[in-house]
Amino acid sequence: MHSDVLVQLENVSVGYPRHVVLAGITLGIRRGTFTGLLGSNGSGKSTLLKTIVGIIPPLEGKLTWNPEVRIGYVPQRDLLDSIYLLSSLEVVTMVTKGEKQWALECMEATGSANLARKRFSQMSGGQKQRVLIARALATRPEFLVLDEPTAGIDPGAASAIMDLLDKIHEKRLTILMVSHDLALVRGHAERVIWLHNGKLDEGPANEMLSRERVLEIFELDLG
Amino acid sequence: MAMLREILDPNFLLRNSVHISLLVGFAAPLVGMYLFLRRLVFMGVALPQISSCGIAFAFALQGWGLLRHAHETAGERALALLGSTVFTLAAIAVFAALERRGRGSPEARIGAFYVLAGAMSILLLVKNPFGEHGMLDMLKGEIIAVSNGELMFTAAIFLIVTVPIIAFRKHFLMVSFDREMALTLKKRVLFWDALLFTLIGMTISTSVLSVGPLVTFGFLLLPPLIAHQFAATMRQFALISSAMGGLTAFTGFALAYRWDLPVGATDVALLGAVLAVSFVLKKLL
């Protein structure tokens, strides 16, 4: 594997036992890139993302991580409903070795330090997302992976989250983000991966999000 | 006041019953809060029932002549603990395996196990000349005749359970609340889950053996239900749950002693009353 590549998938099938979601996927995520992963509902975006970060093992093929890569993962917020009792500082500190100061610094970096003592469950969608990004940063990642970070958030908060991701990216962090929002991805990602009809298409954002390509993909998806 | 002095007197006849109630009251909520936070409340109901079915089964083995009858109390207790622990841990393993397969409704599975375990306990008991009397007392939550040995044994098991529950709480929190994050951080999720449920199983089987399934369920879940309304952090949640359990265990014992009531049922009824009051207080605050 090239040292510039953080994660490499070669002919990988992803999904669950007795249910293959995507097959024959070959993909490499390069160091320092900001990539948007797009596709319609049920196209396998989240399953692919979870395979890339190691939550779901590949059904077939070869998945290789760069040995030094540390992955910071930001899951979908609604999956974390069960942590309703925890304060946001506890949510962040959970992934550190009790380093409260470092957890607070990460919250400061994402603009959520003022929410440290507030219960996670009592925060708005945008606030929760900032806390979850702070938590991912607290693992000192080189590669930040986000599953729909702007879903269900009002446009202003979503735009602020994307600006925050831009700032994080400027510090040489590699970012891979699942999204439904073409406009948000267009304004921030350098590369785009499309998933449609069980196939993967990858390239520079301006090319992958051109009017012709988007129409082509949606026509394919619509049938 | 005179009654309190009597209960606190080191020579009080039922002092071991007070101590064992306090042990269960303080320790059970510490593991029960994980069942509560993982939304496994039904499991907290079913496991004590399955655990008591294990005790009934162990005694039935004697009744059927498959095991030699243990004449001394320590032997009977060891047998009961073995039955209780094996059934509890086996049930946890079966629930986990079915959960991983992801088919059917978890509530329906747990409910089915609960009623079957209850029915089996009764059937095994009515035909068993050895275990019936003690088991019926236990099922009713009569915490009266507790020997020094039983008390020491229960204290030792709860110590073994409580130390790792406190020491490894960060790991348990991580695998309980965010399994996916734990996997991306390359945590040994299966190991920590298995350890947590083994500790939960040990607590339940020991507690059922000491105070019966009803009281075990009450102390596993009602103190965390009360505490979560007021706690702002996990530490507060654990402290309030445990303190509430211990305090209610003592008060319940005193009330039961004062009015000659069964201790277990009094404890649980008192916990229910505290829960109702705490709910109203929370609404008013």
Spans of all domains in chain B = 2-284
The pLDDT of residue A12 is: 95
What does the pLDDT read at residue A101?
Answer: 92
* Closest approach of B177 to chain A, Cα-based (Å): 6
Q: Which residue has the higher pLDDT, A215 or A29?
A: A29
pTM: 0.80
Q: Is the pLDDT of residue A82 over 60?
A: no
Closest listed residue to residue A75, CA positions, set A46, A48, A41, A35? A46
* pLDDT band, very low/low/confident/very high, at B136 (cuts 50, 70, 90): low
Q: Which of A50, A75, A119 sits opposite B232 (nearest CB)?
A: A119
Give the three-state DSSP class for B87.
helix
Using a CB–CB cutoff of 8 Å, tell me whether A143 touches chain B: no
All residues of chain B having their beta carbon less than 8 Å from the beta carbon of residue A79 are: 180
Flag whether residue B228 sits within 8 Å of chain A, measured between CB atoms. Answer: yes
Distances (CA, A) of B261 to B5, B40, B172, B275: 19, 31, 38, 21
Domain boundaries, chain A: 77-141
* Closest residue, chain A, to B171 (C-alpha): A94
- The CATH architecture to which B2-284 belongs is Orthogonal Bundle (1.10)
pLDDT tens-digit series, residues A84-112: 678 888 889 888 877 889 999 999 989 89
B96 touches B38 (CB < 8 A) = no
| Residue A118 sits at the chain B interface (C-beta within 8 Å) | no
Reported in sequence order, the residue ranges of chain A that DSSP labels E, i.e. its strands, are 5-16, 19-30, 34-39, 60-65, 71-74, 143-147, 174-179, 191-196, 199-204
In B102-233, where does DSSP find H-type helix? 106-126, 132-140, 148-167, 169-177, 179-184, 189-211, 213-227
Amino acid type, B126: V
Asked if A55 lies within 8 A of B184 by C-beta distance, the reply is: yes
Q: How far apart are the first and last CA of chain A?
A: 37
A-chain residues within 8 Å CB-CB of B178? 75, 80, 83, 94
Q: What is the mean pLDDT of chain B?
A: 85
Task: Check A86 against B233: CB less than 8 A apart.
Answer: yes
Q: Is A62 within 8 Å of A10 (Cβ atoms)?
A: yes
Q: Give the closest-approach CA distance of A183 to chain B in angstroms.
A: 28
pLDDT tens profile A112-121:
999 998 888 8
Does B185 contact A at CB distance below 8 Å?
yes
